[in-house]
Structure 1
Amino acid sequence: MLKILVTDDIAKTGVEVLESMPGATVDVRTGLSESELLEAIADAHALVVRSQTTVTDKVIQAARNLRVIGRAGVGVDNIDLESATRHGVLVINAPDGNTIAAAEHTFAMMISLARHIPVANRDLLAGNWNRKRFVGVELRGKTLAILGMGRIGTEVAKRAKVFGMNVIGYDPFLTEERALSLGIVKASLDDAIAEADFITVHTPLTKETHHMIDAARLQTLKRGVRIVNCARGGIIDELALCDALRTEQVAGAAIDVFESEPLREDHPLRSFDNVILTPHLGASTVEAQENVAIQVAEQIVRVLKDEPFDHAVNLPSLSAEQKARLTPYLALAEKLGLFAAQLAQGAPSNIRVTYAGDASAPDGGYLTRTVLKGLLGFQYRGEINYVNALQFAEESGIRVQEVRETRGRVYTNEISISFVTDGGLHQLTGTLYSESGPRIVELDGYPIDMPSEGVLLFTRHKDQPGMIGRIGTFLGDAQVNIAGMQVGRRESGGEAIMLLAVDRSVSPDVIGQIASVDGILMVRAIEL
């Protein structure tokens, strides 16, 4: 008898799908303490959660029979993915179920903001009739900047076009081809927001997108711009937004997500009449809750029946022989994809993945999907998994090519990625060392030898005296310790590269200081 444990509230229809599986019992127990969860999961074969239950390494270790964890939603921040993968537990999510709900909520917020609907409603209920006070603006003819062109951003763009808006899209992986197919204009972040009458954000919250809209960027916007955030709290600097609202640089804001939730009672955002606040309702529709519950339940049933499944967030099930052969190369492939994502300048239009030696054996596409998961997942966190990565690339207009060779150019066994972006052609090669695991052995044609983990700083610069010292000084002043260094050049006085392994993250300010040095052609902070 298979046991399916459900520890968070999910739609009844999802539970019914689980209950329909022959030979399975469904145990719905919400609000468990850690000790109660450890006891309940001991004999469970599947676990279903939303965002309330935290699935730690301790919980996973306590589950003797656990095969799959299902998250009824997109984000899996509450699940220890590394532990799940290490213990052979599959993690699946439901990335499609709330897309329409989030897009529609975004549009509801934008229309309400444009027409002052919430404050006009409150004023009318207070006994007033102030038609002249609440003169709004039309969406037709206005320019909307969408920051993040994943599933939700794409759906918002479709609706904005119907309303007659001019749409500008910013996304590191938005290609000209895909932008053209959507009828929108591709632009850089700063160009997009500078042109916008309305701005809406639809990116995941990462180190790169945290406070993406900060005090400095708010001052570059059109005076009177309106801003919507139904994505993640922290993408917009809330206190800086309040300052921009006070000075009327920003005419209004509609916010569904916050840096700290629930929003505290004395938060300054609560004090503005031209701010609309909702308590994280983006996915809160009957349809969305049913969709994510049904989607994750159906996938769990498939996993338990050993049938094909979708939306694997971590390593899919492999035979013992496949796992022994592929696992080291899968780790290398994902790291190379992640490195490539942070190296790229602009959206890659063509990606060529070359496998040599042992890595070239047929693998059913696992390695290429893993490269794409690392590459695309950096930007579309929560949306990209091993199953949908290739399809997502194709839909984004990214052409992917596999090449298999008997022997590599640098090492016998290697994986090499070459890709074209607005910034030109990049090439990245990695191999496996039996003693030290995955290594990066070539970067843009320069031989190097660095571990594919930790925090790295990469520069391309003119080969001239003092460059290494100047960069080291900036890092030293910022208390960033250098743990290792690789340099390379093709000829004296030409171009050179440097790859530094450092002990902690390098701040954008330090990156900016290094970028300003005469002779620096490119600088990237890369975290693996």
Structure 2
Amino acid sequence: MHRVLISDPLSEDGIKPLLEAEDIETVMDSTMSYEQLLEAVASAEALIVRSQTQVTREVIEHAPHLKIIGRAGVGVDNIDIDAATENGVIVVNAPDGNTISTAEHTMAMLMSLARNIPQAYHQLQQKRWERKKFVGVELKDKVLGIVGFGRIGREVAQRAKGHRMKVIAFDPFLNEEKAEKSGVTNGSLDEVLQQADFLTVHTPLIEKTKHLINEETISVMKTGARILNCARGGIVEENALYEAIQSGKIAGAALDVFEEEPATEHPLLSLPEVIATPHLGASTVEAQENVATDVSYDIRELLRGGTVRNPVNLPSVSSEMMERLAPYFKLSEQLGSFLSKVVDGTLERVNVYYSGELLDVDTIPLTRVAIKGILSHHIGDRINDVNAFKTAADKGITINEQKSTRTKGFTNLITVEVETDKEKRSLAGTLLNGLGARIVQFDQYSIDVVPEGHLVVIRHTDQPGAIGRVGSLLAEHEINIATMQVGRTNEGGEAVMVLTVDKPVVGECNEKLGQVEDIKQVQCLTI
């Protein structure tokens, strides 16, 4: 008999796959103290939580029989993923269960914002009948700008089109073909900001999207535009939004999430132009049932020897295979991460080539890690070694893996090549005995660079003085160069310069580098 412990409140209809299984004993107790949880989990093979239970390393290490942890929802911030992986415990979540509920909540907020419904109702509660004060705007023919065109963004778009809105979307994985198929316009971030009458965000919260909507991005929006955030607190810089509403630049905002929650005393709530809800995007009977069902199904299948649909961490690899692959994992991810930050356009295809010592091993785990490195730049921690392939497929990205006897003089070589709708870029790396990971080729240029730290990649014309001008400019801004590599194909032609520096090159220094004579492109990245 398999034992499943549920430590947070869940829909009983949602956990029917477990309750109806004759070979599974399900114990539900959402009132346990942390000490009681440690005791209860000791005999469990599976643990299901929502956001209340903190699944720490201690909890996992107190559960010698634990095979799987299910998070009935999307985020897994309350689960120590590293500890789970180290102890051979698979973590699953329910990424699709609240898609409809969040999209519908966004539309409810959109319509409420357009017609001032909460404010008008509040006045009625105060026994005031003020029709003229709450004149709204129609949605028909208005432009809805969507930042983030994943599952939820697409659902919002379909509903907005039903209101005869014009939809323009920005997503790093959206191209013209996909946009046309969805009936929306594909735009850059600036184009979406400039055209939107209503702007809604549906991205994960990662370094790249934190405070994406800020003073600078708000400044390019239409005066009188409105902003919605039913995704993650922190995507919208709240102080900037407050000031923009106060100044009249932004006509109003609808917020379901805040950077710090609960947010009952937030200054934005004092503005009559703001409507808000207490993080209700996934709070429907159906969504709660869906996430519980999805997780219950995965747990039941795993306990019976099957496979899971929504894994979050890496499944186990044989110790023999892991021993051979382990040295290459970091290099593979670094190659993918590097390329993702220098390539331009919408990603369409990734080719990974292996040669030398890697010819006779299963390199699929390495390819997963390379894909993870590429996608994490846009998606963040939601991407891992296991779901990288599925996520790439969902984004319409083709993955190709090949092996070759051509080693270019190296005992081992990994080459990652990405193709977008605009260009093709490649990066080759190796492990040098005693020296660690090295990038040995960037596009057609031979170089020798350690793939970590702060890097500056410069495309330039091979002319005397170019290197000196770069060095002098960095020195003026007190940025020390650790290493410099220059690759060229012929004298006086195109060349690439890759520098490792002691601190990031940002702001004025970055701008001035791009203006240096003979320099065509500057890209600054951190690996």
Taking structure 2 as the reference length, what is the TM-score of the superposition? 0.89
Rounded to whole Å, the distance in 2 between the matches of 1:504 and 1:36 is: 47
Residue 105 of structure 1 is matched in structure 2 by 105
1:317/1:238 Cα in 2 relative to 1: closer, same or farther (>3 Å)? same
Counterpart for residue 176 of structure 1:
176
Bigger Cα Rg: 2
Please give the residue correspondences for 1:344-493 in structure 2 after superposition, counting only pairs within 5 Å.
Answer: 344-361=343-360, 363=362, 365-381=364-380, 384=383, 389-409=388-408, 411-421=410-420, 423-433=422-432, 435=434, 438-463=437-462, 464-470=466-472, 472-473=474-475, 476=478, 484-493=483-492
Distance in 2, Cα, partners of 1:259 & 1:373: 27
Structure 2 residue runs of 5 or longer lacking an equivalent are none
Note if contact 1:75-1:382 (Cα within 8 Å) is conserved in structure 2. Answer: no
- Output the CA distance in 1 between the equivalents of 2:512 and 2:66: 49
Q: Quick check: 384-393 or 191-200, which moved more? A: 384-393
In the other structure, the counterpart of 2:525 is: 526
CA distance in structure 2 between the partners assigned to 1:36 and 1:272 by the alignment = 45
- Tell me if 1:161 matches 2:161: yes
Q: Which moved more, 1:385-394 or 1:279-288?
A: 385-394
How far apart are the structure 2 equivalents of 1:503 and 1:31? 50
Residue 340 of structure 1, CA deviation: 2.5
CA RMSD of superposed structures (Å):
2.9
| Structure 1 Cα separation of the partners of residues 145 and 192 of structure 2 | 6
Aligned pair count? 524
* Contact kept? 1:146, 1:168, Cα under 8 Å: yes
For residue 141 of structure 1, what is the aligned residue in structure 2? Answer: 141
2:75 corresponds to 1:82: no
Residues in 1 aligned to 2:108 and 2:346: alpha-carbon distance in whole angstroms: 30
Mean CA deviation greater in 171-180 or 254-263? 171-180
Shift of 1:159: 1.6
Residues 381/504 of structure 1: CA separation in 2 closer, same or farther (3 Å cut) = same
Indicate conservation of the 8 Å contact 2:355/2:414, yes or no.
yes
Give yes or no for contact 1:457–1:502 (8 Å, CA) kept in 2: yes
Q: Helix, strand or coil for the counterpart of 2:145?
A: strand
Q: Alpha carbons of 1:55 and 1:466: their partners in 2 closer, same or farther (altered >3 Å)?
A: farther
399-408 or 191-200, which deviates more: 399-408
1:206 corresponds to 2:206? yes
The TM-score normalised by the length of structure 1 is 0.89
Report the Cα offset of residue 189 of structure 1: 0.7
Q: What is the CA distance between 1:46 and its match in structure 2?
A: 2.3
Separation in 2, partners of 1:474, 1:193: 35
CA shift, 1:363, in A, is: 4.1
Instruction: For 1:447 and 1:216, locate their aligned partners in 2 and report how far apart those are by CA, in whole Å.
Output: 39
Closer, same or farther in 2 for the Cα pair 1:484/1:105, shift >3 Å? Answer: farther
Say if 2:206 and 2:381, in contact at 8 Å, map to a contact too. no
Distance in 2, Cα, partners of 1:78 & 1:492:
56
Q: Which amino acid aligns with 1:78?
A: N
Contact kept in structure 1, 2:57 and 2:83, CA below 8 Å: yes
Is residue 278 of structure 2 the alignment partner of residue 279 of structure 1?
yes
Residues 25-64 of structure 1 correspond to what in structure 2 (within 5 A)?
25-30=25-30, 34-64=34-64
Q: Partners in 2 of 1:29 and 1:455 — Cα distance?
A: 48
- CA 44–323 in structure 1, closer or farther in 2 if over 3 Å, else same: farther
SS at match of 1:458: strand
Inter-partner Cα distance in structure 1 for 2:12 and 2:100:
20
Q: Deviations over 1:388-434 (max 9, x none)?
A: 54454344333333333233346343322212335522102233446
Unpaired stretches in structure 1, ≥5 consecutive residues: none
Structure 1, residues 239-269: CA drift from partner, whole Å, max 9, x if none? 111111011111111011111111141x220
Q: Map Cα deviations across residues 288-323 of structure 1 (whole Å, 9 max, x no partner).
A: 111111111211222222212212222123344444
Distance 1:59 1:159 in 2: 43
Q: Give the residue type in structure 2 aligned to 1:125.
A: Q
Match of 2:3 in 1: 3
**Deviations along 1:194-232, whole A, 9 cap, x unmatched?**
111111111111111111111122111111101111111
| Distance of aligned partners of 1:63 and 1:130 in 2 relative to their CA distance in 1, 3 Å threshold | same
In the alignment, the residues of structure 2 paired with residue 389 and residue 438 of structure 1 have an alpha-carbon distance, to the nearest angstrom, of 23
Give the whole-Å Cα distance in 1 for the aligned partners of 2:409 and 2:235.
Answer: 41
